[in-house]
Chain A
Amino acid sequence: MNGSTPYNNRKLLPRWRTLSQSADHGELQFSRKSTSQPVNFNTSILLSELVARWQRERNIENAAELISSGIVVGVNSEVENAANFLIESSNQVAPAIIRASKLVLNGSVMSSIEDDATFSNLGNIISIYRNISKLKIRVRTAPRDAISWMELARLYTLLGQNEPSFKCIQIAVELAPENRFVLRAAARFFENSGDLDRGLYLLRKSNSITRDPWLQATEISLSDVGGVSSKYLKYAIDQVTKDVWEPRHSAELCGAAATVLFADGRYSKARKLMKLSIRDPNENSFTQAEWASIKGWAPSIPEELFEIELAPEALVLRERQAFNWEHAISACIKWNEMEPTSLMPLVFGAFISLVALENGDKALTFLDRAAVRIPNDPMVINNQVVAYAYIGDIEKATKKLNQLNSMQLPKNRKAVQIATNGLVEYRRGEFSKGRDLYIDAIKIADELNDKSIKFLAIWHLLREESKLGTPELEEIVKNVDKSHGQINRLPEIEALKKKIDLDLSKSRKSCFSNEFTPLCKTNFLPYT
């Protein structure tokens, strides 16, 4: 049985991605509202002497001097003329100057970090190691480069190597204790590794937090995850009310504060703040608003905003609500490309693949990635067993199952493990054994009062039985469906139910019956 369910409560935590991705998402910009007129330097004045010299004497020397300065302070028509002149004389001009001339004319600059964040490349461990090697050389020659230390930490995290990652982060935060990018990434790392206190300590001791809404948003969400009061919630709401920041920069702050306030029961204020968060949202605050909207406490997001904002996680939420599973899977892949340090896109992708699509191959593409990050995680191994069972590779499923069975697990996880054993037995053809194991799992979950695992086990059992055409199943399905339990409302479970219904309708037609003990005789299913 698939043992992991996607989150129920989403917290607006910062994304941890590369510098260029953060730049693309506008997370590095200056956040305060400009009090002065926009600074607009007159390029012509800054370049006047060089332009005059170039106009006086149009030669390579003066053109090169003009574009060298022009590329820095800004391009005007004379700089463009000089660039064209140099390109025309390319057989006499140094290659770097030709490149600079092309840059002047094309008007774009190179990306600072050349990262290939495609899904296929992210799974390429050799490529990650190669990048680590490059960065190690860089930090050796430029040890004060905090951003590269942070990038090194990110790559180690992708490999699940938390110890070297932690060391790199320590160096980065020592070098740049006030830098937004560094602090937010560090906070996310400490949240992932469960060291919330350290993350909060770093944020609260920085001087930048009082003037940076992005850091305040992180502090509020991290405090929320840790179950402690935020030191900045009240201050931040006050600043938002005074409209100190540009909407884009306060979007995450509004979303984070709204989430906390809603959990505290201050619904009206929460709704107002959530509305403010989508005035000019970034991808993360947009996703939070979409989640809140699906949960029913925030206004729904205008459709046109959805078209503008590229928010793969929000798309996953939306597509699964609409049962568009293939689209949801594609969005999970995009989400992983956008935020490879998070396990959530992999968890979501695997969950959708296994529960809604029953597609083991697809699930394995996500699970194998997760296994690199957390190789001995029982839930990942459990789900790999399920995926192998679904594709009919019982040998591999059994091998993984043995690994799982040798682990010391807490009781609720034990229930999942037993249910998975049951699934493998079903797929091996040992139906009676499989059913007994499922029933055992349901029994344990019931004793623990863990409804989520209990209903997951029930639905998976019913799915296996529906394939066999068990006669009394229709009634049981109806009763299980009526039972309370948030898990029943998950779109993936809805999809599973549809599959069960479809199988039941087929078995009615074929008048299939099996020879096993009727399910109604087991005490742990809501039959009566």
Chain B
Amino acid sequence: MRNPANCLSGLQLKDKWKVGDMVGNYVGNTGGKFSICYEVSHQDGKSGFLKALDFSGALGAVDPTTELHKLTEAFLYEKELLEICRPMSRIVTALDFGTVELGDPMKAEIVPYIIFEIAEKTVRSVISARMRPPFAWIMECMHQATVGMNQLHTKQISHQDIKPSNALIFSDQGLKIADLGRSVRKGQYVLHELEDWPGDWGYAPPEIAYGYLDPEFNVRRLSSDIYMLGSFAVSLLTGLQLTAWLITVLPDELRPPKWNGNYEGNYSEVISHVEQAFATALEKINDHIGVQEKFVEDMIDCVRELCQPNPGKRGHPRTHAIVGDAGNPFNLERYISRFNYLVLHARIYDHRIHRTSI
């Protein structure tokens, strides 16, 4: 039996979108494929990226009913979030939604899809290159990513999977955060909210890796988001996320199974060691950057505040002091201003270096 999701190339959708070549498939953390991607082009010349829901994996599962339910639920959830995020300037939004029917509808050959904006490149491709990008670019990325995350947080959405490959660079609009497939919204039920960690384990904050899940949504989800924002800053500066740096300085016997170790104790018992490893990692990151400038120090300070191993202490100390328990202590507005300020200083630095090198 053919897989309808594989047969979209060449189709015309809603008389507006022409489906181009398949660009690959997304594989869920459970190992099953659940979406297939295509390039699409609009009749007015705009390009897009189509994500088609693939039921074939679910139909072949041991319990197809449950798998189909999971799949459609996740798809509808992402669609709903994208609707909420439509006005957000720093979030990759959906250009269109729909369902395509192939042949006989009685054979259930229907494929729901979402069309996204297509980016020029990802942050990952830039930071993996030999030359470190200019500091001004790094600071701008941080500023825009923070704006994006703040936009999500104001709607009580936690992204849960911020990483360089999910930060897309558009030539005309700068950085936007993509892939809300793993996001969680406060008060809204979604299956992956039940998982310890819906995102990429390689980027998960330490408390999650040690199995600590705070009962409070803000601490459990928003705080892990801002850890990943700090970790994203480290990726921009060094090419590697903070968790990878932490791993290299944490003794083997204190690492949890999720970090390829065998420590099975509580997070509270090991947090002092994680704090020590965190301090050491920041020193190593600073050494690696090798630029003794105030704006780099400030950036490291931001990382220190954003990535505190104690999830309840993350974020700006003043925000914690003012807001207390009443509001959201993980509010990012102070960081938006701070990164904006650092962009200016980084520009001056880049300009100075550029002039010197000439």
Residues of A within 8 A of B (CB): 19-20, 23, 26, 28-30, 32, 34, 38-41, 43-50, 52-53, 56-57, 60-61, 63-65, 68-75, 91-97, 100, 103, 109-110, 112-113, 138, 141-142, 144-148, 175-176, 178-182, 208
Contacts and interface: CB of A to CB of B under 8 A. Distances in A.
A148 to B, nearest CB: 6
Contact of B263 (A30, A47, A72): A30
B272 interface: yes
B253 A73 contact: no
Interface in B1-35: 24-31
Contacts of A175: 272
23 contacts: A19-B276, A23-B251, A23-B254, A30-B264, A40-B257, A41-B257, A43-B260, A44-B31, A48-B31, A63-B128, A68-B235, A70-B202, A72-B260, A91-B130, A92-B129, A94-B127, A95-B239, A100-B244, A109-B252, A112-B277, A142-B275, A144-B275, A148-B279
A311 to B, nearest CB: 20
Interface of B: 24-31, 122, 124-125, 127-130, 132, 163-165, 200-204, 235, 238-241, 243-244, 247-254, 257-260, 262-265, 268-269, 271-273, 275-280, 282-283, 288, 301, 304, 308, 310, 313
Contact of B129 (A29, A94, A179): A94
Nearest to B200: A69
B31 A94 contact: no
Contacts of B272: 145-147, 175-176, 179, 181-182
B247 to A, nearest CB: 5
Given A68-B241, A142-B304, A112 B269 contact: no
Q: Which 8 A-B pairs have the closest CB atoms?
A: A69-B202, A147-B276, A94-B239, A142-B279, A39-B257, A23-B251, A176-B272, A64-B128
Given A103-B248, A146-B275, A49 B28 contact: yes
A40 B247 CA distance: 18
B132 A112 contact: no
Nearest to A135: B279
A377 B79 CA distance: 77
A65 B124 contact: yes
Nearest to B30: A45
A72 B247 contact: yes
A227 to B, nearest CB: 31
A245 to B, nearest CB: 13
B240 A97 contact: yes
Contact of B29 (A45, A94, A100): A45
Given A39-B262, A46-B29, A145-B275, 6 more contacts: A46-B258, A48-B27, A60-B128, A65-B124, A69-B201, A72-B260
A110 B165 CA distance: 27
Nearest to A207: B268
Contact of A141 (B129, B260, B304): B304
Interface residues of A, dominant DSSP? helix
A61 B128 contact: yes
A36 B125 CA distance: 42
B258 to A, nearest CB: 6
B66 to A, nearest CB: 18
B244 A72 contact: yes
A104 to B, nearest CB: 10
A68 B258 contact: no
Contacts of B308: 144
Contacts of B282: 141-142
Given A19-B273, A73-B201, A138-B283, A61 B165 contact: yes
B21 to A, nearest CB: 13
A97 B259 CA distance: 19
Nearest to A139: B279
A179 B86 CA distance: 47
Contacts of A147: 272-273, 275-276
Given A61-B125, A61-B128, A28 B273 contact: yes
Contact of B25 (A34, A40, A52, A60): A52
B27 A52 contact: yes
B250 to A, nearest CB: 6
A45 B259 contact: no
A480 B24 CA distance: 93
B264 A113 contact: no
A44 B260 CA distance: 12
A106 B212 CA distance: 31
B240 A96 contact: yes
Given A53-B24, A56-B24, A71-B247, A65 B253 contact: no
Nearest to B234: A96
Given A26-B253, A73-B202, A65 B165 contact: yes
Given A46-B29, A100-B244, A64 B239 contact: yes
A185 B235 CA distance: 36
A142 B278 contact: yes
Contacts of A38: 262
Contact of B269 (A19, A52, A91, A178): A178
B212 to A, nearest CB: 14
Nearest to A134: B283
B202 A148 contact: no
Nearest to A112: B249
A60 B41 CA distance: 27
A145 B279 contact: yes
B251 A112 contact: yes
Given A71-B202, A94-B130, A103-B248, A146 B276 contact: yes
A372 to B, nearest CB: 27
User: Which residue among A30, A41, A97, A146 has the maximum number of chain B CB atoms within 10 Å of its CB?
Assistant: A30
A157 to B, nearest CB: 18
A20 B254 CA distance: 11
Contacts of A64: 124, 127-128, 239
B299 to A, nearest CB: 13
A68 B129 contact: no
User: Which residue among B29, B30, B249, B272 has the maximum number of chain A CB atoms within 10 Å of its CB?
Assistant: B272
Nearest to A66: B202
A150 to B, nearest CB: 9
A74 B258 CA distance: 8
Contacts of A34: 264
Contacts of A109: 247-250, 252
Contact of A97 (B24, B128, B201, B278): B128
Contacts of B128: 60-61, 63-64, 93-94, 97
Contacts of B249: 109-110, 112
Nearest to B308: A144
A45 B26 CA distance: 13
Contacts of B31: 44-45, 48
Nearest to B249: A112
Contacts of A39: 257, 262, 264
Contacts of A26: 253
Contacts of A176: 271-272
A52 to B, nearest CB: 4
